[in-house]
Amino acid sequence: MSRLNVALIGLGRMGRLHLSALHRLRGEGLVNRIVCVDVAPREDLEKLCSEVMRTSFENFNPSDIDIVFIATPTITHEKVIRKMLEHNVHVFVEKPAVTDVNTLRDIIGLARKRNLRVFSGHVERVNSVVNLVKEILQEHRGDIVEIVTLRFNKAPTTPENYVNVLWDLLIHDIDIMVYIFNISNVDNFRMLSKAVKLGPGNIPHKCCVTYSIGDIVTFSSVGWVEEDYTLRRFLIIREQDSIEADLYGRRVRRVVRKRQLVELEAPLIDSVYVEDKIVLEGLIEKRCTIFDIENLVPTYEILHRIEKGL
């Protein structure tokens, strides 16, 4: 398996980003064919595909496909994943893979029985700002006082497709902390406080939670807003300094004692391309990646407990 036949199901916003990345990876020799599956694909995207199938995923038979990329609405993920695994095809699915940790474990078990791999697109793990902060903490973790995370996006036009703001936005910030601090066990998770604001259809549109894992206390605030506005930041307060990360602006500010300021700029990268390349190389070389869903269980377990406690 040196060049992969890839299918992409769903050509919405994230599907188009994956299509562009896969087209680039085809030029680099990792991808052989790209089969796009969508009921009504845009004509301007067809030139990036090897083949276009105007059909639903229910009618798609991936007989000669090595891996399927799923970029359909969240509420369809489980059904599509199971169908592809039944066809003995490896799977990459946009985050969240599913919205229940027990379902996630069931899918892991199903994939293992068939000797298949399932990956999920927790793209912040390759964000250059996140990895810059991870490097700083690896040099010296220090005594962490508190962590604050903030994430606000324009509300989706069909919020029911995304389940709620926890599985759309909060999952990113939880996963960043799991990734940065290499959290593998969440038995010492504690919910400290919570507040939620419901939107149309009684779907959580805004949420604030404070929780602890061991000695790390985190306050997280997320929300869908009406304005075309994006905020993605987190702050790590340590005894000796504070580290402020602006994921959207690609900047890390570190304030040390005596108010000395160190400002760092993270490189601009195509995160989806890097993510897809890691996944495909991991599949070809048969090595574990940061996107294998076995490595994402702590994130889903934490979010499951937060949602249960709301």
How many whole angstroms separate alpha carbon 69 and alpha carbon 228? 28
How many whole angstroms separate alpha carbon 227 and alpha carbon 224? 9
CA-based nearest residue to 217, from 149, 151, 140: 149
pLDDT over threshold 70, residue 1: no
CA-based nearest residue to 241, from 136, 149, 138, 150: 136
Cis omega (within 30 of 0) for bond into 298: no
Note the CATH number of domain 124-269+300-309: 3.30.360.10
How many whole angstroms separate alpha carbon 255 and alpha carbon 243? 7
Q: Which class in CATH covers the domain with range 4-121? A: alpha beta
* pLDDT tens-place string over residues 252-289: 999 987 677 888 899 999 999 999 999 999 999 999 99
How many whole angstroms separate alpha carbon 187 and alpha carbon 137? 23
pLDDT of residue 80: 96
Is 306 or 59 the better-scoring residue by pLDDT?
306
pLDDT over threshold 80, residue 115: yes
How many whole angstroms separate alpha carbon 214 and alpha carbon 248? 29
pLDDT over threshold 70, residue 53: yes
* Average pLDDT taken over every residue of the chain: 93
Cα–Cα distances (Å) from 249 to 14, 176, 232, 253, 266, in that order, read 20, 17, 9, 11, 9
Average of per-residue pLDDT across 21-47:
86
Cα–Cα distances (Å) from 52 to 64, 242, 248, 280, in that order, read 15, 50, 34, 21
Average of per-residue pLDDT across 285-306:
97
| Domain limits, CATH 3.40.50.720, in the chain | 4-121
Per-residue confidence at 227, pLDDT binned at 50, 70, 90? confident
* pLDDT tens-place string over residues 126-176: 999 999 999 999 998 889 999 999 999 999 888 888 899 999 999 999 999
Query: Contact at 8 Å (CB) between 234 and 245?
Result: yes
* pLDDT tens-place string over residues 179-218: 999 999 999 999 999 999 999 888 999 999 999 999 999 9
Average of per-residue pLDDT across 23-50:
85
| Domain limits, CATH 3.30.360.10, in the chain | 124-269+300-309
Per-residue confidence at 74, pLDDT binned at 50, 70, 90? very high
Average of per-residue pLDDT across 228-242:
93
What length does the chain have? 310
Calculate the CA 18 to chain-centre distance.
13
Per-residue confidence at 292, pLDDT binned at 50, 70, 90? very high
